[in-house]
Chain A
Amino acid sequence: QLQLQESGPGLVKPSETLSLTCTISGGSISSSGHYWGWVRQPPGKGLEWIGNVYYSGSTRYNPSFKSRVSISVDTSKNQFSLNVNSVTAADTAAYFCARRSGSGWYWDNWGQGTLVTVSS
Protein backbone atom coordinates (compact mmCIF):
# COMPACT_ATOMS: atom_id res chain seq x y z
CA GLN A 1 0.00 0.00 0.00
CA LEU A 2 1.50 3.28 -1.12
CA GLN A 3 2.05 5.81 1.63
CA LEU A 4 3.41 9.34 1.51
CA GLN A 5 4.72 11.23 4.53
CA GLU A 6 5.69 14.89 4.71
CA SER A 7 8.44 16.07 7.03
CA GLY A 8 10.06 19.41 7.81
CA PRO A 9 9.93 22.42 10.12
CA GLY A 10 6.53 23.58 11.29
CA LEU A 11 7.72 27.15 11.79
CA VAL A 12 9.65 29.30 9.31
CA LYS A 13 10.66 32.94 9.67
CA PRO A 14 9.60 35.54 7.10
CA SER A 15 12.02 35.96 4.16
CA GLU A 16 13.57 32.54 4.84
CA THR A 17 13.17 29.29 2.89
CA LEU A 18 10.49 26.71 3.57
CA SER A 19 11.83 23.19 2.99
CA LEU A 20 9.75 20.01 3.09
CA THR A 21 10.45 16.41 2.14
CA CYS A 22 8.00 13.71 1.13
CA THR A 23 9.04 10.11 1.78
CA ILE A 24 7.36 7.38 -0.22
CA SER A 25 6.84 3.87 1.15
CA GLY A 26 5.10 0.87 -0.35
CA GLY A 27 6.01 1.94 -3.85
CA SER A 28 8.73 3.46 -5.99
CA ILE A 29 9.16 7.08 -6.94
CA SER A 30 10.52 5.76 -10.25
CA SER A 31 7.25 4.13 -11.25
CA SER A 32 6.49 4.98 -14.84
CA GLY A 33 3.57 7.25 -15.58
CA HIS A 34 3.28 8.86 -12.18
CA TYR A 35 4.24 12.34 -11.10
CA TRP A 36 4.89 13.58 -7.58
CA GLY A 37 3.70 16.94 -6.43
CA TRP A 38 2.82 19.43 -3.75
CA VAL A 39 -0.53 21.03 -2.98
CA ARG A 40 -1.09 23.53 -0.21
CA GLN A 41 -4.12 24.76 1.72
CA PRO A 42 -4.08 27.99 3.75
CA PRO A 43 -6.11 27.74 6.97
CA GLY A 44 -9.82 27.75 6.18
CA LYS A 45 -9.21 28.05 2.44
CA GLY A 46 -9.09 25.87 -0.66
CA LEU A 47 -6.45 23.79 -2.37
CA GLU A 48 -3.66 25.28 -4.48
CA TRP A 49 -1.37 23.35 -6.80
CA ILE A 50 2.30 24.22 -6.26
CA GLY A 51 4.09 21.97 -8.72
CA ASN A 52 5.21 18.46 -9.53
CA VAL A 53 8.25 16.42 -10.51
CA TYR A 54 8.86 13.24 -12.50
CA TYR A 55 11.45 10.74 -11.34
CA SER A 56 13.70 11.92 -14.17
CA GLY A 57 13.85 15.34 -12.51
CA SER A 58 11.54 17.09 -14.95
CA THR A 59 9.43 19.71 -13.19
CA ARG A 60 6.34 21.89 -13.66
CA TYR A 61 5.38 24.78 -11.39
CA ASN A 62 2.39 26.99 -10.79
CA PRO A 63 3.33 30.35 -12.37
CA SER A 64 1.73 32.19 -9.47
CA PHE A 65 4.77 31.33 -7.34
CA LYS A 66 6.99 33.40 -9.64
CA SER A 67 10.17 31.33 -9.44
CA ARG A 68 10.12 31.12 -5.62
CA VAL A 69 9.50 27.38 -5.79
CA SER A 70 11.68 24.40 -6.63
CA ILE A 71 10.94 20.69 -6.41
CA SER A 72 13.60 18.01 -6.60
CA VAL A 73 13.71 14.23 -6.46
CA ASP A 74 16.08 11.79 -4.77
CA THR A 75 15.42 8.36 -6.23
CA SER A 76 18.00 6.69 -3.96
CA LYS A 77 15.98 7.72 -0.92
CA ASN A 78 12.55 7.41 -2.58
CA GLN A 79 11.89 11.05 -1.67
CA PHE A 80 11.06 14.35 -3.28
CA SER A 81 11.39 17.78 -1.79
CA LEU A 82 9.90 21.27 -1.92
CA ASN A 83 11.64 24.58 -1.39
CA VAL A 84 9.76 27.88 -1.23
CA ASN A 85 11.99 30.95 -1.03
CA SER A 86 11.33 34.36 0.51
CA VAL A 87 8.29 33.22 2.45
CA THR A 88 5.71 35.56 3.93
CA ALA A 89 2.72 35.06 6.20
CA ALA A 90 0.70 34.28 3.06
CA ASP A 91 2.66 31.04 2.73
CA THR A 92 1.25 29.76 6.00
CA ALA A 93 -0.64 26.63 5.02
CA ALA A 94 -1.00 22.89 5.29
CA TYR A 95 1.32 21.40 2.70
CA PHE A 96 0.38 18.06 1.15
CA CYS A 97 2.54 15.84 -0.99
CA ALA A 98 0.69 13.62 -3.44
CA ARG A 99 1.01 11.29 -6.40
CA ARG A 100 -0.51 12.38 -9.68
CA SER A 101 -1.59 10.15 -12.52
CA GLY A 102 0.37 11.00 -15.63
CA SER A 103 -2.35 10.81 -18.21
CA GLY A 104 -5.44 11.31 -16.06
CA TRP A 105 -4.23 14.38 -14.20
CA TYR A 106 -5.76 13.29 -10.90
CA TRP A 107 -4.15 12.95 -7.48
CA ASP A 108 -4.75 9.44 -6.17
CA ASN A 109 -2.49 9.20 -3.12
CA TRP A 110 -1.92 11.93 -0.57
CA GLY A 111 0.24 12.43 2.47
CA GLN A 112 -1.48 13.44 5.69
CA GLY A 113 -0.24 17.02 5.30
CA THR A 114 1.95 19.19 7.47
CA LEU A 115 1.13 22.67 8.76
CA VAL A 116 3.82 25.26 8.15
CA THR A 117 3.49 28.60 9.89
CA VAL A 118 5.46 31.62 8.73
CA SER A 119 6.11 33.90 11.69
CA SER A 120 8.96 35.65 13.40
Chain B
Amino acid sequence: QSALTQPASVSGSPGQSITISCTGTSSDVGSYSLVSWYQQRPGKAPKLMISEVTKRPSGVSDRFSGSKSGNTASLTISGLQAEDEAYYYCSSYAGGDTDVVFGGGTKLTVL
Protein backbone atom coordinates (compact mmCIF):
# COMPACT_ATOMS: atom_id res chain seq x y z
CA GLN B 1 0.00 0.00 0.00
CA SER B 2 1.46 3.33 -1.12
CA ALA B 3 1.59 6.29 1.20
CA LEU B 4 0.00 8.62 -1.37
CA THR B 5 -3.19 7.65 -3.20
CA GLN B 6 -3.54 8.07 -6.94
CA PRO B 7 -6.19 6.78 -9.33
CA ALA B 8 -5.02 3.64 -11.08
CA SER B 9 -5.88 5.00 -14.50
CA VAL B 10 -7.14 8.03 -16.36
CA SER B 11 -7.79 8.57 -20.03
CA GLY B 12 -8.50 11.35 -22.45
CA SER B 13 -8.63 12.15 -26.14
CA PRO B 14 -6.02 14.18 -27.97
CA GLY B 15 -6.46 17.87 -27.30
CA GLN B 16 -8.40 17.36 -24.08
CA SER B 17 -7.22 18.11 -20.55
CA ILE B 18 -6.92 15.60 -17.75
CA THR B 19 -6.12 15.87 -14.06
CA ILE B 20 -4.44 13.27 -11.89
CA SER B 21 -4.97 13.53 -8.15
CA CYS B 22 -2.55 12.59 -5.40
CA THR B 23 -4.03 12.37 -1.92
CA GLY B 24 -1.89 12.26 1.18
CA THR B 25 -2.33 13.40 4.76
CA SER B 26 -1.72 16.43 6.92
CA SER B 27 1.71 14.94 7.67
CA ASP B 28 2.97 15.01 4.10
CA VAL B 29 1.12 16.69 1.21
CA GLY B 30 -0.90 18.89 3.53
CA SER B 31 2.08 20.19 5.48
CA TYR B 32 4.67 20.88 2.82
CA SER B 33 4.82 22.46 -0.63
CA LEU B 34 7.23 19.71 -1.63
CA VAL B 35 5.18 17.61 -4.01
CA SER B 36 6.80 16.47 -7.24
CA TRP B 37 5.49 14.59 -10.26
CA TYR B 38 7.26 12.08 -12.51
CA GLN B 39 6.48 10.63 -15.91
CA GLN B 40 7.62 7.08 -16.61
CA ARG B 41 7.41 5.34 -19.93
CA PRO B 42 7.71 1.51 -20.06
CA GLY B 43 11.24 0.32 -19.47
CA LYS B 44 12.52 3.82 -18.78
CA ALA B 45 13.56 5.82 -15.75
CA PRO B 46 11.16 8.33 -14.22
CA LYS B 47 11.42 11.89 -15.50
CA LEU B 48 10.77 14.92 -13.33
CA MET B 49 7.80 16.91 -14.65
CA ILE B 50 6.82 19.14 -11.71
CA SER B 51 8.70 20.06 -8.54
CA GLU B 52 7.62 21.87 -5.40
CA VAL B 53 3.92 21.62 -6.35
CA THR B 54 3.96 24.04 -9.29
CA LYS B 55 7.50 24.41 -10.69
CA ARG B 56 8.20 23.13 -14.16
CA PRO B 57 11.82 22.15 -14.94
CA SER B 58 13.47 23.51 -18.04
CA GLY B 59 12.48 21.51 -21.08
CA VAL B 60 9.13 20.32 -19.74
CA SER B 61 6.15 21.41 -21.82
CA ASP B 62 3.96 24.16 -20.36
CA ARG B 63 1.02 21.84 -21.00
CA PHE B 64 1.96 20.29 -17.65
CA SER B 65 0.95 22.11 -14.49
CA GLY B 66 0.64 21.31 -10.81
CA SER B 67 -1.44 22.50 -7.91
CA LYS B 68 -2.35 21.61 -4.35
CA SER B 69 -5.34 22.02 -2.08
CA GLY B 70 -5.24 20.71 1.45
CA ASN B 71 -4.00 17.13 1.47
CA THR B 72 -4.45 16.64 -2.28
CA ALA B 73 -2.06 17.59 -5.04
CA SER B 74 -2.96 17.51 -8.72
CA LEU B 75 -1.21 17.25 -12.05
CA THR B 76 -3.03 18.69 -15.04
CA ILE B 77 -2.06 17.98 -18.62
CA SER B 78 -3.71 20.18 -21.20
CA GLY B 79 -3.83 19.65 -24.94
CA LEU B 80 -3.25 15.92 -24.56
CA GLN B 81 -0.89 14.36 -27.05
CA ALA B 82 -0.19 10.74 -27.86
CA GLU B 83 3.32 11.12 -26.44
CA ASP B 84 1.85 11.90 -23.01
CA GLU B 85 0.72 8.29 -22.62
CA ALA B 86 2.74 6.96 -19.68
CA TYR B 87 2.60 6.28 -15.96
CA TYR B 88 2.65 9.29 -13.65
CA TYR B 89 3.83 9.21 -10.04
CA CYS B 90 3.55 11.82 -7.34
CA SER B 91 5.94 12.15 -4.43
CA SER B 92 6.04 14.25 -1.30
CA TYR B 93 8.35 15.05 1.56
CA ALA B 94 6.89 13.39 4.63
CA GLY B 95 9.12 14.50 7.47
CA GLY B 96 9.50 12.18 10.41
CA ASP B 97 11.27 8.89 9.82
CA THR B 98 10.13 8.41 6.24
CA ASP B 99 11.50 11.36 4.34
CA VAL B 100 10.03 10.55 0.94
CA VAL B 101 6.75 8.92 -0.03
CA PHE B 102 5.47 8.03 -3.49
CA GLY B 103 2.02 7.48 -4.90
CA GLY B 104 1.08 4.16 -6.45
CA GLY B 105 1.14 5.59 -9.95
CA THR B 106 -1.51 6.44 -12.55
CA LYS B 107 -1.61 5.05 -16.06
CA LEU B 108 -2.57 7.71 -18.56
CA THR B 109 -4.10 6.44 -21.77
CA VAL B 110 -4.53 8.78 -24.72
CA LEU B 111 -7.50 7.44 -26.65
Count of CB-CB pairs between chains A and B under 8 Å: 67
> Is the C-beta of B93 less than 8 angstroms from some C-beta in chain A?
yes
In the assembled complex, how far is the CB of residue A117 from the closest CB belonging to chain B, in whole angstroms?
A: 16
Whether the pair A46, B103 counts as a contact (CB closer than 8 A) is yes
In the assembled complex, how far is the CB of residue A115 from the closest CB belonging to chain B, in whole angstroms?
A: 10
Nearest B residue (CB) for A107:
B48
Whether the pair A105, B93 counts as a contact (CB closer than 8 A) is yes
Whether the pair A46, B89 counts as a contact (CB closer than 8 A) is yes
Whether the pair A46, B105 counts as a contact (CB closer than 8 A) is yes
B residues 58-111 touching A (CB-CB < 8 Å): 89, 91-93, 97-105
Q: Which of A60, A106, A113 contacts B51 (CB 8 A)?
A: A106
Chain A, interface residues (CB within 8 Å), range: 20 to 34
Chain B, interface residues (CB within 8 Å), range: 20 to 34
- Asked if A47 meets B97 with Cβ closer than 8 Å, knowing A101-B51, A104-B51, A108-B51, the reply is no
> Is the C-beta of A48 less than 8 angstroms from some C-beta in chain B?
yes
- Asked if A63 meets B97 with Cβ closer than 8 Å, knowing A46-B89, A106-B51, the reply is yes
Whether the pair B36, A106 counts as a contact (CB closer than 8 A) is yes
Whether the pair A49, B99 counts as a contact (CB closer than 8 A) is yes
CA distance A111 to B46 in the complex (A): 9
CA distance A96 to B47 in the complex (A): 12
> Is the C-beta of A112 less than 8 angstroms from some C-beta in chain B?
yes
Whether the pair A46, B102 counts as a contact (CB closer than 8 A) is yes
A residues 74-99 touching B (CB-CB < 8 Å): 96, 98
The chain B residues found within 8 Å of chain A, CB to CB, are 2, 32, 34, 36, 38, 44-48, 51-52, 55, 57, 89, 91-93, 97-105
Q: A46-B102, A104-B36, A110-B46 are in contact. List 5 more A-B contacts (CB 8 A).
A: A48-B102, A106-B52, A106-B91, A107-B91, A110-B47
